[in-house]
Amino acid sequence: MADLPEWDFSALYAGQDDPKIASDLNWLAEEAKRFRADYEGQLSDKTAIALGTCIQRYEGMQSVMGRIMSFAGLRYYQNTTDANRAKFMSDMQDKITTISSDLVFFSLEMNRIEDERFDLLVSQDETLTRYKPVLDRMRAMKPYQLSDELETFLHDQSVVGAAAWNRLFDETMAGLEFDVEGEKLSLEATLNLLSDPDRARRETATHALIAVFWHHLPLFSRITNTLAKDKEVEDRWRKLPTPQASRHLANHVEPEVVEALRDAVVAAYPRLSHRYYALKAKWLGLETMQVWDRNAPLPISDDRTIGWEEAKQTVLDAYSGFDPRLAELAEPFFTKGWIDAPVKPGKAPGAFAHPTVVDAHPFVMLNYLGKQRDVMTLAHELGHGVHQRLAAKQGEMLSSTPLTLAETASVFGEMLTFRKLLEGKEGTARKALLASKVEDMINTVVRQIAFYDFECKLHAARREGELTPDDINAIWMSVQAESLGPVFEFVDGYETFWSYVPHFIHSPFYVYAYAFGDGLVNALYAVYEDGDENFQEKYFAMLEAGGSKHHKELLEPFGLDASDPKFWDKGLSVIEGLIDELEAMED
């Protein structure tokens, strides 16, 4: 694992002391005040051309703010225990929040323009027509908008509200140490041991996790209770119908589409996770599985450490096999410091791809340990990165893809890599790869929908009052037993494992986007395998659209419709087919 790449931030700023940061902040402060003076109280009276110019100026400020906060945030995630980086991010957050207070009026006044007049204005100016998709998403919040004073208050207090609790969670998680056989390990390294070939070592790691989670459970419960209550208060004031509603609005997806996905996956639990884990128990020679066996490698698995160069070439070859343009878009991530791969003290756990701003480039974070799952994670995050590069041509406000489609390229990249690895494999090698892919898909679909149900139950219960740690633990276990199936036994202490999942803290109800993306990609890949004419061109056009089109419009060229309840069964049948093949290998 020597010589793993690390980020080069020069596309953003030369360093924390770069004078351009101060210069950009000064420009922002002045431009925000000029913008407010030019437009506050006047948007509804502006001509279409004037409104188009207004939106372009607003987008210009969003770009500079995004550059500053991307730089501060990425440096912080490299080492969340570094007090200097934490202070810098907090200071930048404070400054940007103060500056952007002058911009709060923009969305409020845009939403107060009558629908008839808005439609007329959009029809009169090409600039407004181009921005209509993002304006439509903004105006979807129109029924739930508060007074100008309250909206400004919520904006200003955010740095000492949810953002502060998020930061407390991140810094606590990054500072945790787990004692595994006398060795002090980070969260990421300890979680990695849950897929160790040695069952005793997996069990030891599980108990190490439980011990630390139990110790910090009061804090994690307090963070979760506070954020859920904070959300409930704001939702109540806005008169949002459900805790999930704000996420659905942000994702530009209809609630019934998400519920159709959720119901289809839950109904498929017996055919997917229950059936697969019963099969896995048999392979491991176990009558019942413990939680530390869920991600255990099969006895036939290739457990060698995969070097960085091999991982890189595997993914690039898979991308190139689909279309050379995909590999060309991915190549600079490896050669220009766009990936931060090593596991380091204080580094945030997990992986992500951050788009930053459209006139820079995305940054991919990994915690690479050389496992096959890490190779698939690389393929996943590079998919995001390629998607973000292609969508950048839409501009700052239209490039951002709703979460429901944001996972499309990432999961498709995983599928391409899996299919490439599967080529020519027979016998136990094929079986091991199929099993690994099924596990990844179960983690992406079944586990994430179980996470979504956990959040739904948690937020509903929190509306009835404060939740004790035992209350939250019980909610967690109710969805775990249902989703994993009867073959599992749950060791005392596993009920605390909800506490380390960052999505529950940072992005409530984000998790269904993974299942949405997997189901969508399974259906897309079936179209690709059927030899759909010009599939690559349609695929690139879909990615290039960014957030400029609704999911229905983007999927139409492929003959797919996510609002059709049967759509999700198509995606789930792909997973079921792989399990069928694994069962057939037993005969």
Give CA angle at 569 (564, 570), nearest 5°: 90
Q: At 201, which helix (H) or strand (E)?
A: helix 199-238
Confidence category of residue 38, pLDDT binned at 50, 70, 90: very high
Closest CA to 417 of 319, 329, 304: 319
| Backbone dihedral angles phi then psi of residue 79, each to the nearest 5 degrees | -160, 90
Task: For tokens 């595994």, name the residue.
Answer: 180
8-state DSSP, 353:
E
Please report the pLDDT score of residue 253 as a whole number.
87
| Residue 72 within any structural domain of the chain | yes
If you average pLDDT over residues 2-8, what whole number do you get?
A: 91
Confidence category of residue 2, pLDDT binned at 50, 70, 90: low
Task: For tokens 């940054």, name the residue.
Answer: 363
Q: Which long-range contacts (CB under 8 A, 24 or more apart) does 460-464 make?
A: 460/243, 462/225, 462/228, 462/229, 462/232, 463/232, 463/243
Q: For residues 493 and 470, what is the distance between their CA atoms, to the nearest angstrom? A: 11
- Other CB atoms within a 10 A radius of the CB of residue 344 amount to 15
Please report the pLDDT score of residue 256 as a whole number.
92
Please report the pLDDT score of residue 63 as a whole number.
97
Q: Is the pLDDT of residue 403 over 80?
A: no
- Is 177 within 8 Å of 146 (Cβ atoms)? no
The conformational region for residue 383 under phi > 0 = left, psi -120 to 50 = alpha, else beta, is alpha
Please report the pLDDT score of residue 533 as a whole number.
83
| Cβ neighbours of residue 554 closer than 8 Å, sequence gap 6 or more | 405, 542, 545
Q: Is the pLDDT of residue 371 over 90?
A: no
Q: Is 427 exposed, middle or buried (0-12, 13-18, 19+ CB in 10 A)?
A: exposed
- Other CB atoms within a 10 A radius of the CB of residue 50 amount to 15
Q: Report in angstroms the alpha-carbon separations of 194 from 61, 187, 198, 207.
A: 45, 11, 9, 11
| Residue 345 within any structural domain of the chain | no
Q: Letter for the amino acid at 61? A: M
Q: For residues 92 and 98, what is the distance between their CA atoms, to the nearest angstrom? A: 10
Give per-residue burial for 381-397: e unless 16+ CB within 10 Å, then b: bbbbbbbbbbbbebbbb
If you average pLDDT over residues 149-162, what whole number do you get?
A: 86
| Residue 218 within any structural domain of the chain | no
Q: Report in angstroms the alpha-carbon separations of 474 from 211, 367, 411, 462, 542.
A: 18, 31, 32, 13, 42
Strands (DSSP E) found in 157-315: 178-180, 183-185, 289-290
Structure-model confidence comparison of residues 243 and 154, the more confident one: 243
Give per-residue burial for 299-324: e unless 16+ CB within 10 Å, then b: eebeeeebebeebbebbbebbbebbe
- Is 85 within 8 Å of 76 (Cβ atoms)? yes
The CATH number of residue 82's host domain is: 1.20.140.70
Q: How many domains does the chain have?
A: 1
| Residue 68 within any structural domain of the chain | yes
The conformational region for residue 106 under phi > 0 = left, psi -120 to 50 = alpha, else beta, is alpha
Q: For residues 122 and 130, what is the distance between their CA atoms, to the nearest angstrom? A: 9
Q: For residues 259 and 245, what is the distance between their CA atoms, to the nearest angstrom? A: 12
Rg (C-alpha) for the chain, rounded Å, is: 24
Q: For residues 352 and 365, what is the distance between their CA atoms, to the nearest angstrom? A: 5
Query: Please, where are the H alpha helices in 445-564?
Result: 446-462, 469-484, 502-506, 512-529, 535-544, 551-555
- Is 6 within 8 Å of 341 (Cβ atoms)? yes
Q: For residues 315 and 418, what is the distance between their CA atoms, to the nearest angstrom? A: 9
Structure-model confidence comparison of residues 71 and 161, the more confident one: 71
| Residue 301 within any structural domain of the chain | no
Tell me the pLDDT tens digit for each residue of 428-453.
889 988 998 999 899 989 999 999 99
Beta bridge mates, 289: 488
Confidence category of residue 194, pLDDT binned at 50, 70, 90: very high
Structure token pair of residue 240: 């949002």
What's the whole-model pTM score? Answer: 0.83
Tell me the pLDDT tens digit for each residue of 111-147.
999 999 999 999 999 999 999 999 998 998 889 998 8
Please report the pLDDT score of residue 469 as a whole number.
97
The CA-to-CA distance between both ends of the chain, in Å, stands at 40
| Residue 447 within any structural domain of the chain | no
- Is 481 within 8 Å of 541 (Cβ atoms)? no
Please report the pLDDT score of residue 587 as a whole number.
60
Average pLDDT of the chain is 93
Q: Letter for the amino acid at 138? A: M
Tell me the pLDDT tens digit for each residue of 517-534.
888 888 898 889 888 889
Please report the pLDDT score of residue 372 as a whole number.
85
Closest CA to 142 of 151, 152, 131, 155: 151
- Is 289 within 8 Å of 489 (Cβ atoms)? yes
Quote the domain boundaries for residue 135.
9-160
Beta bridge mates, 488: 289
Please report the pLDDT score of residue 206 as a whole number.
97
Task: For tokens 């756990």, name the residue.
Answer: 349
| Residue 59 within any structural domain of the chain | yes
Please report the pLDDT score of residue 248 as a whole number.
93
Tell me the pLDDT tens digit for each residue of 202-217.
999 999 999 999 999 9
Please report the pLDDT score of residue 98 as a whole number.
95
| Residue 52 within any structural domain of the chain | yes
| Cβ neighbours of residue 25 closer than 8 Å, sequence gap 6 or more | 68, 95, 99
What length is written for the chain? 587
If you average pLDDT over residues 461-469, what whole number do you get?
A: 96
Please report the pLDDT score of residue 1 as a whole number.
66
